[in-house]
A and B are shown apart, each in its own frame.
Chain A
């Protein structure tokens, strides 16, 4: 009894040892890729996302004022200490920091740029002890409670300002959240982004299901040839592809001539630099993402299943619905999810073949990064998009039981 117990313990230890060796080996195999991903992907993304709440300008430029304002209860004007801290802070500021501060505050309240620059120019002439009277004398805005409210809002190290702005919301001087005055700008862009992605996904499903079905049934030789045609967009540069679409879809392009020749339309239709162009070009690029996983899944449904169902009395439509569809559904879902999520982040194609009202979220991320150098706004839009993608993936991939490893 005890001998066998001892044997049992030795055995267990041996199993544990070999288990440890196995997990060590696994860790070693995964480590290079994990390190690579962390360095080139995770770290930059997290850094970028942090920028959407980062608010270094005001606390750094106005350290004394930020501290003093933290105690202000937003009732009436702040105390004299706040006025004098502001003058001291502004005196200490160099030109570049002052410009950054002015620009940053101007995002939150138009007019603050001028006010800040003007006040700084006079700060050396104002005695801090007399600031309470001198500042309103310099500019009556210093008697406006909302100006101080905005200063207080933006004087903390983290700000919801950009995230709120990306959702068309703003915080007033009293700290309450309201729809922003500019109207539904980014919400519309988000809705448009989801709408375009959903439409492109539907087109891919409609075109891709019959195509994948054909491919799965075709002899391997034919299938690989057609598959190569489907994959063609991957092997051509974006510019070549786009030029091709422009040539085909322009006013005097092949498609218009064909439609005119067939008498389907009376005048050339506008097919590019609008939503139609975006749909056509994006569906073209996205189709392989849908067809490839589905093709893999369809190939693995044995022909015998369909034959068995027919022999048991099911007419073709019922065979499809009861036997075929349930077996390929994971592939359809995986493909559709891939297309949808990838479309959400699309940038180049809509920028090249769409009109001004066809631009998606990524376009604005690009705009804020490259043109207006508003990193906070770029990061806020990007973070919200990422959050949406992760949310959709978790919501859909969970219940549909999509396991990407299974569909390849």
Chain B
């Protein structure tokens, strides 16, 4: 407080410019042989909603638990606000955590649960009461304060857990699959509620999920995890439109995977000979050249049937194998380009093409929409 103005100003700017959390070469092994997290470098910017997305067992929870202080990194360091925190016990990190099963204390009422972090901080009764009321209002649980957690529905318990993690105004909140136990409709509603709450409060949120739709809905940025490594860290749009490798392409959204061999590569573009199929023009992603095996990634909704197909560089005949009516769109499986499992999605517009199983079509796509990704050796 007594430091000269310019020092304080410097400190402030430094802390504004620096990331709130920085993982530096963090590794984790539980058993001493398998690395569950392999050299994680990741910055969490102040005020952002960052999601760790990946399949089960990819090390997301482990990362979160290391950040919260419940697991110690085997190597590397985590900085919180520029300071290393490996030696800091969880109760002194000031990080709010929401667990998958809410971890509400069953012997306390809703109000006592939410008051817990405040009473631990020895705040006065009046202040606690005010904060608790405000926090419960915030999650629309007015009037539930005297209930026990067991008397609440899953969604209500979820809200209490969120209120409890936010009530002591932490700068950083972690959530580990907090909506995993809710049904689909409630989950989608809660996704937006949490997102809006985070924006309103301005808190930095690190969120873990294995549900790619949830990640796309909520996040400012997404770190896609696989086998303890970040495969790609990007905004939802970028992840969907420009996946950097086959894993990301496969994990985010639906996608046709067409293996092939590069014939020629030139800067941004390349031509690829599909296995048992034609030659295709595609976006070149990563360093690969003639003779290399690649996987072509093609979103089902980017394949056009028949009528429009003419405009595109890639245009091939195909036979309709299966038609599924899904209300707002049709899902069509066709055989063509040497494969029998090519899927396309066609928006359901009135007076559309009269497709039948067995009818022949032409399908085509723009070369910008097909990405040649280095073959995943797995």
Q: Which residues of A approach B to under 8 Å, CB–CB?
A: 302, 304-305, 307-316, 318-319, 322-323, 326-327
B84-125 interface code vs A (CB 8 A; 1 in, 0 out): 000001111111110111010111000000001100110000
Contact B120 A313 (CB under 8 A): yes
Contact B105 A309 (CB under 8 A): yes
B70 contacts the other chain (CB 8 A): yes
By a CB distance below 8 angstroms, the chain B residues around A323 are 105
**Selected contact of A313 from candidates B70, B91, B103, B106, CB within 8 Å:** B91
By a CB distance below 8 angstroms, the chain A residues around B90 are 307, 310-311
Contact B103 A307 (CB under 8 A): yes
By a CB distance below 8 angstroms, the chain B residues around A311 are 68-69, 90-91, 93, 95-97, 165
By a CB distance below 8 angstroms, the chain B residues around A305 are 103, 105
**Selected contact of B120 from candidates A307, A316, A318, A326, CB within 8 Å:** A318
By a CB distance below 8 angstroms, the chain A residues around B116 are 309, 312, 314, 322
| CB nearest neighbor in A for B94 | A313
Interface centre among B68, B120, B121 (most CB of A within 10 A): B120
**Selected contact of B168 from candidates A310, A313, A327, CB within 8 Å:** A313
By a CB distance below 8 angstroms, the chain B residues around A307 are 68, 70, 90, 97, 99, 103
B143-170 interface code vs A (CB 8 A; 1 in, 0 out): 0000000000000000000001100100
By a CB distance below 8 angstroms, the chain A residues around B97 are 307-308, 311
Contact B101 A302 (CB under 8 A): yes
| CB nearest neighbor in B for A324 | B105
**Selected contact of A314 from candidates B93, B95, B100, B120, CB within 8 Å:** B120
Contact B91 A310 (CB under 8 A): yes
23 A-B interface contacts by CB (under 8 A): A304-B101, A304-B103, A305-B103, A305-B105, A307-B68, A308-B99, A311-B69, A311-B97, A312-B91, A312-B116, A312-B120, A312-B164, A312-B165, A313-B92, A313-B94, A313-B121, A314-B91, A315-B89, A315-B91, A318-B120, A323-B105, A326-B107, A327-B107
By a CB distance below 8 angstroms, the chain B residues around A313 are 91-92, 94, 117, 120-121, 168
| CB nearest neighbor in B for A306 | B103
Q: A302-B101, A326-B107 are in contact. Are A310 and B117 (CB under 8 A)?
A: no
B341-376 interface code vs A (CB 8 A; 1 in, 0 out): 000000000000000000000000000000000000
Q: Is the interface of A mostly helix, strand, loop or mixed?
A: helix
By a CB distance below 8 angstroms, the chain B residues around A304 are 99-101, 103
Contact B106 A312 (CB under 8 A): no
| CB nearest neighbor in A for B96 | A311
A237 to B20, CA, bound (A): 65
A313 to B164, CA, bound (A): 12
By a CB distance below 8 angstroms, the chain B residues around A302 are 101, 103
A311 to B120, CA, bound (A): 11
By a CB distance below 8 angstroms, the chain A residues around B120 are 312-314, 318
B297-330 interface code vs A (CB 8 A; 1 in, 0 out): 0000000000000000000000000000000000
A400 to B96, CA, bound (A): 34
By a CB distance below 8 angstroms, the chain A residues around B121 are 313
Least Cβ–Cβ distance between B44 and chain A, in angstroms:
17
Least Cβ–Cβ distance between A43 and chain B, in angstroms:
43
By a CB distance below 8 angstroms, the chain A residues around B168 are 312-313
Nearest 6 pairs of A and B residues by beta carbon: A308-B103, A312-B117, A304-B103, A311-B97, A310-B90, A313-B120
By a CB distance below 8 angstroms, the chain B residues around A309 are 105, 116
A318 to B120, CA, bound (A): 8
**Selected contact of B89 from candidates A310, A312, A326, A327, CB within 8 Å:** A310
Least Cβ–Cβ distance between B33 and chain A, in angstroms:
17
Counting contact residues on chain B (CB < 8 A from A), the size range is 20 to 34
A305 to B101, CA, bound (A): 10
Interface centre among A302, A307, A312, A322 (most CB of B within 10 A): A312
| CB nearest neighbor in B for A310 | B90
A207 to B165, CA, bound (A): 36
| CB nearest neighbor in A for B68 | A311
By a CB distance below 8 angstroms, the chain A residues around B89 are 310, 315
A91 to B353, CA, bound (A): 124
A309 to B117, CA, bound (A): 8
| CB nearest neighbor in B for A301 | B106
Least Cβ–Cβ distance between A338 and chain B, in angstroms:
22
By a CB distance below 8 angstroms, the chain A residues around B107 are 326-327
Contact A327 B96 (CB under 8 A): no
| CB nearest neighbor in B for A312 | B117
| CB nearest neighbor in B for A326 | B107
A239 to B25, CA, bound (A): 62
Other than the given A315-B89, A326-B107, 18 more pairs (CB < 8 A) read A302-B101, A304-B99, A304-B101, A304-B103, A307-B103, A310-B69, A311-B68, A311-B93, A311-B96, A312-B91, A312-B116, A312-B117, A312-B120, A313-B94, A313-B117, A314-B91, A322-B116, A327-B107
A319 to B105, CA, bound (A): 11
Least Cβ–Cβ distance between A115 and chain B, in angstroms:
68
A310 to B100, CA, bound (A): 16
Least Cβ–Cβ distance between A234 and chain B, in angstroms:
33
A308 to B149, CA, bound (A): 15
By a CB distance below 8 angstroms, the chain B residues around A327 are 105-107
Least Cβ–Cβ distance between B181 and chain A, in angstroms:
13
By a CB distance below 8 angstroms, the chain B residues around A322 are 105, 116
A316 to B70, CA, bound (A): 13
A315 to B92, CA, bound (A): 8
By a CB distance below 8 angstroms, the chain B residues around A308 are 97, 99, 103, 105
By a CB distance below 8 angstroms, the chain A residues around B70 are 307, 310
A273 to B116, CA, bound (A): 52
| CB nearest neighbor in B for A327 | B107
By a CB distance below 8 angstroms, the chain A residues around B165 are 311-312
By a CB distance below 8 angstroms, the chain B residues around A316 are 91
Least Cβ–Cβ distance between B241 and chain A, in angstroms:
36
By a CB distance below 8 angstroms, the chain B residues around A326 are 107
| CB nearest neighbor in B for A304 | B103
A223 to B106, CA, bound (A): 26
A34 to B96, CA, bound (A): 54
A316 to B96, CA, bound (A): 17
A318 to B105, CA, bound (A): 14
A307 to B91, CA, bound (A): 9
A72 to B92, CA, bound (A): 85
Least Cβ–Cβ distance between A92 and chain B, in angstroms:
72
By a CB distance below 8 angstroms, the chain A residues around B101 are 302, 304
A17 to B122, CA, bound (A): 59
A313 to B90, CA, bound (A): 7
By a CB distance below 8 angstroms, the chain A residues around B105 are 305, 308-309, 322-323, 327
A323 to B108, CA, bound (A): 9
By a CB distance below 8 angstroms, the chain A residues around B68 are 307, 311
Least Cβ–Cβ distance between B102 and chain A, in angstroms:
8
B67-78 interface code vs A (CB 8 A; 1 in, 0 out): 011100000000
A314 to B115, CA, bound (A): 12
By a CB distance below 8 angstroms, the chain A residues around B93 are 311
| CB nearest neighbor in A for B105 | A323
A311 to B68, CA, bound (A): 7
